[in-house]
Structures are given as C-alpha cells and as structure tokens.
C-alpha cells in the first residue's frame, strides 16, 4: 500500500517524465483506446489504483468477490473444458462430427441448431425452405434427438444446447430421450442457453414476446429445480450483444440486466435465489483486445458476486460464483485472408484462459466462410491444447493481478457495467427496453461507430482495410451443406408423421394448450408431447397461439 506521500512523489515524477522524455517522442496516434473505446493513458502507476483494497476488491481465487477466479486452483486443478460448437445438417451428420471432435480431444459436447429450429419451426415449414441444416443441426422431434445421440452416452458427459425460445421443446426432447434410455434425470449434466430476452434485441432468433418468453423461462427453471438438479438452467449469453455492436460493458451490463429480470420472475414464483443462482452459467464473447477481455472477465465475476450478495442477499457462496464459457468472436473474423483468423483465435483463447474461464471454444478460422470443416475444427482444438500445455499460462492463477493497468481497467469496465444496468432499470427493465426498441437503437448506434472507424481506418483490420492482398487469394477447404441434406431431413420428418400415433399427438398438444391457457407450468406437458413424437413446430405452435409472437418495434 502506497502512502499519500508516495503517491505525490510518483505523480511529480510522472509529470516530469511527460514533459521531458515523453515530449521528445510524439505518439503515433493522437488518442489510444481499447477496442470498445475506453481512452488509454501512456502509462499507469500506483496513482491509478490508489483506491484498490486487495482483500476487499480482489481477494483470493475462489473467494468473494471472485475477481481473481471462480475456484481456488483454477487451471492448476481442473483445466478449462474444451467445448467446440458442433451443428451441421441432419442429426446423423452432427452425430458423426461430434464423434470426430471427441476423438481430437474435445471434453464437452455443444450443439448448435439451424435457423428453423432456433425460431421454433419444423423443417417442412414454408419459411424453412433453403435453411434446413445450413448453419446448425435440424432437430424436429425426439427421433432427431435419438439420432443425434446415437452411440453417445448421456450419462458421464456434459451436454450443451444453444437454444433459447424453443427451450421448452428441445429440453423436453432431451428429457424424453433420457427417460426412454432409463438414465436418471438427476445424473444429467449440461446446459440450455435459455436466455430469451437477448434473442429479441441482439440475436434476432425469437418466437415469443419478451414478457411471455420470461414466463416460459420461469417454467423451465421451476421444472429443472424439481427434476434436473445438476443442470445449468440458463446460460446467460452476452455473445450476440457484442456481435451486434455492443462494447465490453454493454455485453456485461445488458446480460446482467437480463438476469435481474429473470430473478424477479423466479422470486414472484416463490423460488429462492440460493436454489437458482448456482445453476446459472454465462457465455461471453472474446474480442481481439487481449487486455480489455481479461479485464472484462475479472470485472464480470466481481459484478455478479456483488449483485447476488448485496442486492439479492444470497447466502450460499456458490451463488456468488460466476462460472463462464467463452467463445472467440466470429464477428471479429474476416473472410479475406481467412488464415489470419487462426492468429485472432489464438489471441482470444489466450485472453479467455488468462481471464479464468471454465470452458472455451475458439471459433474456427473458416467461420466467416462456412460451417467449420473437420480440419478447422481440429485446428481450433489443437490451439486450445497448445495454450494449455505449451504456453505456460495455465500454471499461475490470474497472473495479471496487481498490474496497475489491469486493475485500473478492471475497475473501469466494472463501473461502466453498473451504469448500463442502472440505465436499463431506470427505463423500466429489460423486457420494457426490448419492447420499446431502446436496446436496438443503442446497439445500432454502437455498430455504426465501429463500422465508421473501420471505413475511416481509425481501426485497422488486417487484410480488410490495410495489408490487403493484391493477388487472388487461394480459397481454403470449405464445408457446404448440400441440398441432399434438406431432402433427407424432410423425408425423415414426413416418415415420422406418417408412422407416429396422430391421436396421441393430438391429445398431448390439446393437454399442453389447456395448461398454457391456465398459465400453469408447461414443461411437464411439453415432455409428454415430446414422448409421443410431437414436433418442435407443433409444440411451439401451441405456445405461440397462447402467448403470442414477438413483433420487433420500428427504430427508424
């Protein structure tokens, strides 16, 4: 701890340095900022962190406020989970890709879905034409879930589903599969993303209006609390907020503001915070700014700990602990000179590991061009393995702690995050801000500023606005979903509808409608519908009839 006299001497010396040594060398730019736009000074000293109290603001890893890590040993104990996102074509094709990446060393299973599945439409819906299996796996029914997990044990694995508004249907299919195989639900370990509000303002893959989507989220939380004790009921996701133009503090602030909205719904139902919070995990974006991203992860843990302890009065230390998965940002990748993305992914992977994540995916270098090829998937896994085993960074917990700059930047990101949350609260909460279009306007403004910075070369993107190749670039190996994939999926769906019991499906859907109209928890009825092979589109169709569909507000 520096005394006031120490700080005065440092300040005096810094002024002398600025007027003499620094003045002789003009910086190459007039202003330096982080990628999110935080202005940076030339150098940071104890002056900038004079208010930091080690035990109060940092503490030790695994202890409140968790700035330095969610667990005491971090990567010295159990290294982060390698969880590359997989989803391509039909369930059968995705099953084969899962087995491939598992053989390459992946330690967690993560499913990405195609657009029709993400918005609750069956593959044979007219609006699904041309989109089936294109950017993820098509899942229409329990039959597809069975094919997805053919030869892959449910027990002993960690499963992740990047699904939001259709969570009641997709989670029900997974539960139905487990029950059909005789796997006890209490042994299922995994995560449903299940963060519906951000779908309405950032990801734009929605079905239900904001308030209805929060009600259905509450249903899944209640069901999981009763039946799925080891399941992460929600994976709060800041990723699309960042890809939509948001800064690091928008990513954190809007995600935590959504958590507040969800908690209020749960508390209204009589659920206890300490029964919910330990089953919530997070998914963050990893941008290219190494130091800002490390600071963001550190700030995120501290904000969450304070929110749960101080606002919600959580008593269980597990409630204060923020557990996170991170994925390098696909939006920061370029289709020009795609091999450059290997470097971008490596930088992002380093930031995630140094920032203390529990699980990681490095976006494949061909992501700006296509669904990843097997070669690209293998390279992303190898990148994580090299970071873990060869870089040396996994041997020390939170190695940047104590850096004047890192502690200042962590504080700065935290302060800006709280301001975003306060702004949302003052405007009526997240659901209200989605309904009015306030969040769309905010992110559109930020995206415009970022685009302008690239166009004006205030921000250099290698291979795009500088260091552009004059010769024709050689196209890398590209994976493409063929038309045959869609034909196969449609044929399978047609066969299913012909062979299942129409009477059982009709009865199950009628029962679901009755429960939904009463305002009761829909999850048990969704599971019953899934068991008789009702499709996702049929289940979501009934819920849309009762709860409505979201119509985004006009913001221009």
Statement: residue 134 has pLDDT above 70: yes
Instruction: Give first-to-last CA distance, the chain, whole Å.
Output: 52
Retrieve residue 417's tokens: 């995050």
DSSP code for 150: T
Percent of the chain with pLDDT over 90: 85
Residue 1: pLDDT band by 50, 70, 90 thresholds?
low
Statement: residue 23 has pLDDT above 80: no
Closest CA to 291 of 227, 351, 220, 247: 351
**Domain 54-455, CATH class in plain words:** alpha beta
Q: What is the pLDDT of residue 371?
A: 83
Q: Provide Rg for the chain, Cα atoms.
A: 24
Q: What is the pLDDT of residue 27?
A: 67
Closest CA to 261 of 65, 436, 439, 421: 421
Q: Which residue has the tokens 């399978």?
A: 492
What does pLDDT average to over the chain?
94
The three-state secondary structure class of 270 is coil
Beta strands 189-192 and 158-162, pairing class: parallel
Statement: residue 250 has pLDDT above 70: yes
Retrieve residue 222's tokens: 């209640």
Per the document, the length of the chain is 556
Q: What is the pLDDT of residue 29?
A: 64
The three-state secondary structure class of 412 is helix
Q: What is the pTM (predicted TM-score) of this model?
A: 0.95
Beta strands 39-40 and 81-82, pairing class: unpaired
Q: What is the pLDDT of residue 538?
A: 98
Retrieve residue 237's tokens: 């996701």
Stated as kind and residue range, the H or E segment containing 158 is strand 158-162
Retrieve residue 456's tokens: 């004006």
Beta strands 32-33 and 39-40, pairing class: antiparallel
CA distance 131 to 137: 11
Q: How far is CA 513 from the centre of its chain?
A: 31
Lowest-pLDDT choice from 17-21, 137-141, 379-383, 548-552: 17-21
Q: Give the pLDDT confidence of 75-99 residue by residue, as tens digits.
A: 999 899 888 888 989 999 999 999 9
Sequence ranges of the domains in the chain: 4-49, 54-455
């Amino acid at each position: 701890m520096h005394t006031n006299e120490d700080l005065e001497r440092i300040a005096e010396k810094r002024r002398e340095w600025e007027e003499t040594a620094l003045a002789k060398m003009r910086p190459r730019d007039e202003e330096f900022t982080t990628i999110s736009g935080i202005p940076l000074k030339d150098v940071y000293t104890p002056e900038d962190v004079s208010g930091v109290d080690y035990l109060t603001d940092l503490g030790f890893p695994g202890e409140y406020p968790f700035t330095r890590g969610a667990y005491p040993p971090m990567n010295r104990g159990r290294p982060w989970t390698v969880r590359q996102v997989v989803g391509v074509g039909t369930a059968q094709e995705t099953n084969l890709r899962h087995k491939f990446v598992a053989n390459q060393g992946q330690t967690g299973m993560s499913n990405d879905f195609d657009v029709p599945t993400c918005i609750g439409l069956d593959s044979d819906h007219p609006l699904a034409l041309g989109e089936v299996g294109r950017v993820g796996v098509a899942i229409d029914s329990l039959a597809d879930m069975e094919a997805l997990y053919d030869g892959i044990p449910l027990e002993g694995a960690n499963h992740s589903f990047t699904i939001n508004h259709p969570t009641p249907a997709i989670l029900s299919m997974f539960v139905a599969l487990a029950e059909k195989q005789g796997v006890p639900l209490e042994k299922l370990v995994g995560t449903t993303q299940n963060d519906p509000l951000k779908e309405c303002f950032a990801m734009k893959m929605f079905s239900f209006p904001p308030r209805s989507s929060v009600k259905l989220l509450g249903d899944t939380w209640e069901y999981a609390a009763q039946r799925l004790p080891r399941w992460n009921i929600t994976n709060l996701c800041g990723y699309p907020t960042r890809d939509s133009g948001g800064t690091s503090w928008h990513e954190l602030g809007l995600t935590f503001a959504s958590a507040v909205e969800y908690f209020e719904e749960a508390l209204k139902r009589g659920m206890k915070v300490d029964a919910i919070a330990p089953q919530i995990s997070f998914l963050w974006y990893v941008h290219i700014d190494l130091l800002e991203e490390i600071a963001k992860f550190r700030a995120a843990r501290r904000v969450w700990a304070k929110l749960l302890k101080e606002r919600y009065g959580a008593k269980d230390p597990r409630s204060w602990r923020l557990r996170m998965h991170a994925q390098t940002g696909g939006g920061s990748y370029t289709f020009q000179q795609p091999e450059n993305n290997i470097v971008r992914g490596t930088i992002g992977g380093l930031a995630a590991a140094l920032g203390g994540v529990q699980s990681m995916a490095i976006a494949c270098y061909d992501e700006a061009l296509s669904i990843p090829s097997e070669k690209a998937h293998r390279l992303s896994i190898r990148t994580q393995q090299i970071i873990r085993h060869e870089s040396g960074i996994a041997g020390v917990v939170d190695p940047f702690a104590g850096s004047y700059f890192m502690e200042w930047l962590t504080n700065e990101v935290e302060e800006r995050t709280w301001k975003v949350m306060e702004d949302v609260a003052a405007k009526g909460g997240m659901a209200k801000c989605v309904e009015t279009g306030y969040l769309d306007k905010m992110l559109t403004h930020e995206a415009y500023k970022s685009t302008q910075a690239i166009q004006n070369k205030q921000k250099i993107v290698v291979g795009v606005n500088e260091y552009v190749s004059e010769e024709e670039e050689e196209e890398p190996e590209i994976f493409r979903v063929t038309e045959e994939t869609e034909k196969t999926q449609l044929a399978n769906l047609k066969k299913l509808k012909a062979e299942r019991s129409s009477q059982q499906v009709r009865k199950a859907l009628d029962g679901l409608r009755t429960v939904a109209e009463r305002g009761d928890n829909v999850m048990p009825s969704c599971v019953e519908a899934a068991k008789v092979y009702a499709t996702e589109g049929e289940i979501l169709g009934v819920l849309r009839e009762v709860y409505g569909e979201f119509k985004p507000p006009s913001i221009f």
